[in-house]
Amino acid sequence: MKINSAKLAAHVEQTILTGLATALVVLSCVPIAARWLGHTPPPWIEPLLGILLLWLTLAGAWAATGAQRHICIDLVSHLLPPAANRRVRPWIHLFTTIVTLALAWFGLEFIRLQRSAETARLFGVPIWGYSYAIPLAMVGMAWRSLWNAWQEFRMAIPTTVKANQEVRP
């Protein structure tokens, strides 16, 4: 049995997104139920919900980038004719790769700054430890954008030689 890596990756992404969204919804009910019952919610619930929201947002952006269904502010492709658009699209993906790598670097700088300050801990891990989701997701999106650029470059190259046609110099 042959495993389709793209389908497997999409299934893993969907499973992670579903798990994070489910956890966020269920845990969001805990403070409501605690207050309704006249109790104080656990002190760890609010920071955990913030972390889960960050992770869910970044995981969703990573998955959307892979499926090329992410939010795209791209004026160039709307102004160019289709033939020129095919030639420009790989460069747009390369630009996106550079931007997301820069954001990954800034994410690491953010963590470095957080590490220098005394921070609270959640389940024994400093709060800044959970922020590694930022550079990780940005590197993942950069990889996806680079892969999309490669695919677009391959499609933009005209194939003039057919499989059974002889190539002459």
Residue 20: pLDDT band by 50, 70, 90 thresholds? very high
Residue 125 vs residues 22, 24, 121, 149: alpha-carbon distances, Å:
22, 19, 5, 37
For residue 146, pLDDT beyond 60: yes
pLDDT score of 104: 97
Contact 52, 46 (CB under 8 A): no
Structural domain boundaries in the chain: 5-156
Q: How far apart are CA 169 and CA 167, in angstroms?
A: 7
Q: For the segment 116-131, what is each residue's pLDDT rounded down to a tens digit? A: 887 788 888 888 888 8
pLDDT given at position 156: 67
Least confident of 2-6, 46-50, 85-89: 2-6
Rounded to two decimals, the pTM is: 0.75
pLDDT digits (tens, 9 = 90+) for 54-97: 999 998 888 887 767 666 666 777 788 888 877 888 888 899 89
